[in-house]
A and B are shown apart, each in its own frame.
Chain A
Amino acid sequence: MSAEITECRVVQLSEIESGKSFRVVRINASGEIRRRLLDIGFIKNEPGRVIREALLKDPIEIEIKGTKVSLRRSEARLIDAEELD
């Protein structure tokens, strides 16, 4: 499984530009924040899209599981994702 992932470019979700689509690889956190992200739909292989960012590039708006959600950049940094073309 890990061999498969190393093939693609895995980055932190916070680094993906507005308008780009991505696929969730994993959440690098624990406790409440991990549970919140999981509950809202950041699960392995889930596709999503970065919609926009606020004035100071923080927070960011993301579409996942048919809903728009907002995350602080510090929270997006906890999610590993691979960019889709």
Chain B
Amino acid sequence: MNFPADRVHRRLQRRHGRSGLPSGQKFYRIALAGNPNSGKTSVFNALTGQHQHIGNYPGVTVEKKSGIVQVDDNIVEFIDLPGTYSLSAYSLEEVVSRDFVLNEKPDVVIDILDSTNLERHLYLLLQFQELGVPIVGALNMTDEVEAKGVMIDSEQLSSILGIPFVKTIGSTGAGIERLLEVALKVAEGQLSSQKRHLNYGKQVELAHEAIIDALMLDESFKERYSLHWIAIKLLEKDRDAIRKIENEHRLAAIVLQAAKDWRERLEKEFDEDCEVIIGEQRYAYIHGAIKETVKIAKRRQVVDFTESIDRIVLNRFLGIPVFLGIMFVIYQITFKLGNPLSDGVSIVFTHLSLFLTRILPAGPLRELLTNGIINGVGGVLTFLPLVVLLFLGLSFLEDTGYLARAAFVMDKFFHIFGLHGRSFIPFMISTGCAVPGIMSARVLANQKDRKVTILVSPLMMCGAKAPVVAMLVAAFFPEHATLIFWNIWLFGWLMAFVMALIFKQSLFRGAQTPFVMELPPYRLPTVKNVFIHMWEKSSEYIKKAGTVILAASIIVWFLLSYPKVPTRTSDLSAENVPAIEYSFGGQLGKMAEPVLRWAGFDWKIGISLIAGVAAKEVIISTLGILYGIEAQLSSDQLHVDFMVKNEIKNDQQYSPLIAIALMVFIMIYIPCIATLAMVKKELGSWKWPLFQVGYTLLVAFIIAVGIYQIGGLLGLGG
């Protein structure tokens, strides 16, 4: 095996030389743990460089990043655990982290700590130590803490906690080399990292020992878990630990009874819940350790930049305007810069397709290649500039620490609809395009909030629906075009909020998830980290979403192209009938006419709406084809627009009332295929995009029928 080595490792290699034979290679697994905002990502990037692999933890949608590199003669796999504050059983991320350590037993866990806030960060480290795994602590952001005139005696801290500590600066890479060296020494057993647990005080320790005694009754259970950890978790009434006992301990009843008795005893003594007692003891222990190791050398007056910025950014009255301004900039960068690039990609593929049409003989193969595959690949790649630019903006928001502020500023309003303040970001991005919009829903840490947001985001007016709505408005309401258009735009937002509220009250009912979150100090992101983040997300989009979008667009193309017009027909009029009418999609559109009539739609609209599932802007060109507008001109979008507008305006079948019903229908009904593929990718199952197809179709139909029927009764039908 030959793994490319990063700069840090090359330096290490130079120092140690390449001794030993390749057969002497050892394989180590090192997990990276840490609170959010501890600088864990930059340490991970410094350790693994470009060699990162993104996947999921088995069976869940929690993202798992890992990277394999060669260090000296060792192969080391780094696994980035989710950033959490604690290791309780309340969140998926926390359960994933601790189960990874318990089941996979990595050789070492490196815990990254923000040195400027040791107390809070040691709280997590000690919980990892309790899991019974060797720990190395990285005292990160050492530069910041020293600038404040605070000295941390890392030797003393090491001897109190029994864990090696290394000072690092993640953003510059300082100390990372040493951190790796120490971690490998611990992995090799040359340096000790004690697996003991912290002292919870006399009474708790007594209970703890007694529960361990009960746990010892099952020999095989003892092998599997750190009994210290299980005993503490049982005192905390941790539901996951209780489940482990129920399923895996031979004498579960005895153990659980002992845990219950001791809990009750402690609760009586302390007049407090056990979970609280243990949390408080943990903090008390840390407080003691810090008192002995952290010295304020000379108190330096440091300007609190974070507070100065927050005075403006979080100001009661300025907060929302500042937020909208920042969103405006991100939106403009994504779409104003991205759309011309997308168009460029699209033109390249159109030309490629034309070129192949010229050189290949006509037939199903040529059609599959040009209209099916090349169109599909082009469809995937046109979104790429948007995805890249969006993640440039988002990683900037996230890395600076502003994202948490965005939620602070917007939360009240969004909470009314059961959403989180951060839902604004995917909503806003979706008004440009739902594909990057749905990706941006990752800013929501809570899975319920994220699902609801993803389900309703495609209801926004996106860049593809806009020209269709604009065309209809221009055709039927030439005098109030702008007003009607913006009302339809707002209607998209309204629907998103209403549907979110409905979903929160029905499908996603249940206990409120806490909003409590840290507002981290502002920090300047490093160019390297922003680019690694962008690269990851873009390649992920191509690999995961791209393939699904491609497959889906080929299927839709097939349904709209086959079966072909029968060739041997001698009927002249049949020759003038567009091929699409004969296709499966066309037949479906015609079949649906009796139902669509309730909303005032005819079969032409039916077929166009079906074609629109491929991409919403296709609705116009499909109508064009059905009206017999010359296909060659379809490259000239403005011309097609104009012609279609005139055709439907003069078509006696339609009225302004039908136009309204149609616009509303287009806003709500089935998201485009690329969006559905993205939803599948983000939520990990076809269940959600299929549900989305169902509910949007139903709601769109009900509202469109309502408008047409009630409008008709009120005499607006003429």
Interface residues, chain A, with chain B CB atoms under 8 Å away = 1, 26-27, 30-41, 43-44, 46, 52-56, 58-59, 61, 65-72, 75
Contact = CB atoms under 8 A, between A and B. Distances in A.
Given A55-B316, A70-B516, A43 B280 contact: yes
A31 B514 CA distance: 11
A67 B411 contact: no
28 contacts: A26-B272, A30-B273, A31-B511, A33-B514, A33-B516, A35-B86, A36-B90, A36-B516, A37-B514, A39-B279, A40-B120, A40-B516, A41-B120, A46-B283, A52-B316, A53-B316, A54-B408, A55-B317, A59-B515, A65-B117, A65-B119, A65-B120, A66-B119, A67-B518, A68-B310, A71-B516, A72-B411, A75-B515
Contacts of B21: none
Contacts of A66: 116-117, 119-120
Contacts of A32: 90, 511, 513-514
B412 interface: yes
B276 A38 contact: yes
Interface of B: 85-86, 88, 90, 116-117, 119-120, 123, 271-273, 275-276, 279-280, 283, 306, 310, 314-317, 319-320, 404, 407-409, 411-413, 415, 511-520
Given A27-B276, A34-B273, A43-B280, 18 more contacts: A31-B511, A32-B513, A35-B86, A35-B90, A35-B279, A36-B514, A38-B275, A39-B86, A44-B280, A52-B314, A52-B316, A54-B316, A54-B319, A54-B409, A56-B413, A61-B314, A67-B520, A71-B516
A23 to B, nearest CB: 14
Contact of B283 (A27, A34, A43): A43
Contact of A69 (B116, B415, B519): B519
A39 B85 contact: yes
Q: Which of A31, A32, A58, A71 has the most CB of B within 10 A?
A: A32
A58 B513 CA distance: 16
Given A32-B514, A72-B515, A61 B408 contact: yes
Nearest to B315: A52
B408 A59 contact: yes
A56 B90 CA distance: 30
Nearest to B306: A68
B321 to A, nearest CB: 10
Contacts of B517: 69-70
B519 A68 contact: yes
Contacts of B276: 27, 34, 38, 43
Contacts of A27: 276
A37 B276 CA distance: 10
Contacts of B117: 65-67
Contacts of A46: 283
Contacts of B519: 61, 67-70
Nearest to A58: B412
B120 A70 contact: no
A52 to B, nearest CB: 6
Given A39-B85, A55-B320, A67 B120 contact: yes
Given A58-B411, A58-B412, A75 B314 contact: no
Given A30-B273, A32-B514, A56-B412, A39 B319 contact: no
A9 B88 CA distance: 33
A55 B411 CA distance: 10
Contacts of B412: 54-56, 58-59
Contacts of A41: 119-120, 283
A42 B505 CA distance: 30
Contacts of A39: 85-86, 88, 123, 279
Contacts of A75: 514-516
A72 to B, nearest CB: 5
A49 B22 CA distance: 59
Contacts of B120: 40-41, 65-67
A37 B516 contact: yes
Name the residue among A38, A52, A54, A56 with the largest chain B CB count within 10 angstroms.
A54
A48 B258 CA distance: 38
B445 to A, nearest CB: 12
Contacts of A1: 271
A18 B349 CA distance: 59
A61 B276 CA distance: 23
Q: Which 4 A-B pairs have the closest CB atoms?
A: A39-B86, A38-B279, A68-B519, A32-B90
B411 A54 contact: yes
A40 B306 CA distance: 19
Contacts of B271: 1
Contacts of B280: 38, 43-44
Contact of B415 (A65, A71, A72): A72
A52 B654 CA distance: 56
Given A41-B283, A54-B314, A70 B514 contact: no
A63 to B, nearest CB: 9
Contacts of A71: 515-516
A72 B414 CA distance: 12
A26 B279 CA distance: 13
A61 B518 CA distance: 9
B314 A43 contact: no
A55 to B, nearest CB: 5
A33 to B, nearest CB: 5
A70 B404 contact: yes
A48 to B, nearest CB: 13
Contacts of A70: 404, 407-408, 411, 515-517, 519
A34 B319 contact: no
Contacts of A53: 316
A79 B600 CA distance: 57
A40 B283 contact: no
A43 B171 CA distance: 32
A17 B389 CA distance: 42
